[in-house]
Amino acid sequence: MVFLASFAAAQGGAEDRRSGYQDMGAALQKMQDDDTANPAMLFVQAGEALWKQKAGASDKACADCHAAGSMKGVAARYPAFTPGSDRPVDLDGRINLCRTTQQKAPAFGPESQELLQLSAYLALQSRGLPIAPPDDARLTPVRAEGEQLFKGRQGQLNLSCADCHDDNAGKSLGGATIPQAHPTGYPIYRLEWQTLGSLKRRLRNCMIGMRAEPFAYDAPEYVALEAYLMQRAKGMTMDAPAVRP
Amino acid sequence: MANVLINAPKTARKGETIEVKALILHPMETGFRPGTNGTMIPRNIIQDFIATWNGIEIFRMRMSPAIAANPYVSFFTVASESGTIRFRWSGDNDFSAEGSVTVAVT
């Protein structure tokens, strides 16, 4: 049984992978599916306004460079290398890169409202698309590092991400179902947070749960973990911006 | 600027019961939570939510600190005449927000 399950996972059988959406209750699924009940859509609205707002010394808005609709699929792709960078960035990092180099404006702070609003606006445009990490050899070592982080034990409880999300996914941790940790819906409106949060916040949250010290906000480890998780969830459908319990 | 999402059917038959949903962005800070520096974060909640249909009040709700952030209110009303449903939220720190939706009743 265990052999069969791991064999199927090695074959990349998409039917064995479950998104957090499938693991949550019907009421929450309904809340997410209804765009007027999904609180993340409030952030999308604000993000759309921000997208069109001029900023920085170059007095340009995102919309001045990027045509409407050109951001389709972008959120399903990152983390990725961008031209002229020697390390990959996640979507939030990419937004800030544009902000500092193109708009010549100060970068948004980590988990700031503006950053979440913009990333929610971008994520919505990839809703329904398959997760498509770029076919880039430079990302291979990054993903390997991410995998190592995912499978390595850390913290006072001596747990790894894989202990819960690979070995015990589908079982309960307290009253909650342990999901398989596929990042299909980020940024998510997490009811426990009562606000929108990024994948980075989710990762920090898990690290605190393992009683490990979270990496600094700008640490490359997050990007490596995200790159591994996106590769792991390759082909799964994006349902961002999602609602999660 | 307040950020609201309102959902009501665009058309309804006269006498039909319709569901109206209203969602608003608001922190609903309880006033019982200490901030990072140890001092209490002052209360900041929405106190009243009122909906009117062509000026006539159809729904009123008094909110409490126990209500989660970004409150989502759903209620039912009978469609009697074409017009505008106006929503008004008001609360602490002179918070005030408005939204509206038009319903054609046939």
Tally of structural domains, chain A? 1
- List the one residue out of A136, A144, A145, A140 whose CA is nearest residue A83: A136
Q: Check if A210 contacts B (Cβ < 8 Å).
A: no
Strands of the sheet containing B4-7, edge to edge, are: B4-7, B17-24, B72-78
Residue boundaries of the structural domains of chain B: 1-10+48-70+81-106
B40 CB within 8 Å of a chain A CB? no
| Chain B residue at shortest CA distance from A38 | B23
Print the domain residue range for A83.
20-245
- CA A80 from chain centre, in angstroms, equals 13
The pLDDT profile of chain A, 245 residues, written as one tens digit per residue, is: 444 444 444 444 446 899 999 999 999 999 999 998 999 999 999 999 999 999 999 999 999 999 888 899 999 999 999 987 889 999 999 999 999 999 999 999 999 999 999 999 999 999 999 999 999 999 999 999 999 999 999 999 999 999 999 999 999 998 889 999 999 999 999 999 999 999 999 999 999 999 999 999 999 999 999 999 999 999 999 998 999 99
Q: Is residue A5 part of a domain?
A: no
Please report whether residue A101 resides in a domain: yes
CATH code at position A176: 1.10.760.10
Residue A2 lies in a domain: no
- Residue-level pLDDT, tens digit, chain B, 106 residues: 468 999 999 999 999 999 999 999 999 999 999 988 999 999 999 999 999 999 999 999 999 999 999 999 999 999 999 999 999 999 999 999 999 999 999 8
d(CA A4, CA B90): 58
Backbone phi, psi, residue A156, to 5°:
-65, -25
User: How far from chain centre, in Å, is Cα A240?
Assistant: 9
Give A47-80 pLDDT, tens digit per residue.
999 999 999 999 999 999 998 888 999 999 999 9
List pLDDT tens digits, range A86-121. 899 999 999 999 999 999 999 999 999 999 999 999
DSSP 8-state class, residue A133: -
Instruction: Measure B82 CA to nearest chain A CA, in Å.
Output: 22
Could you list the active site residues of A? Answer: 206
pTM score: 0.88
Contact B19, B74 (CB under 8 A): yes
Residue of A42, A44, A116 best to disrupt the B interface, most CBs of B under 10 A: A42
In angstroms, what separates the C-alpha of B68 from chain A's closest C-alpha? 7
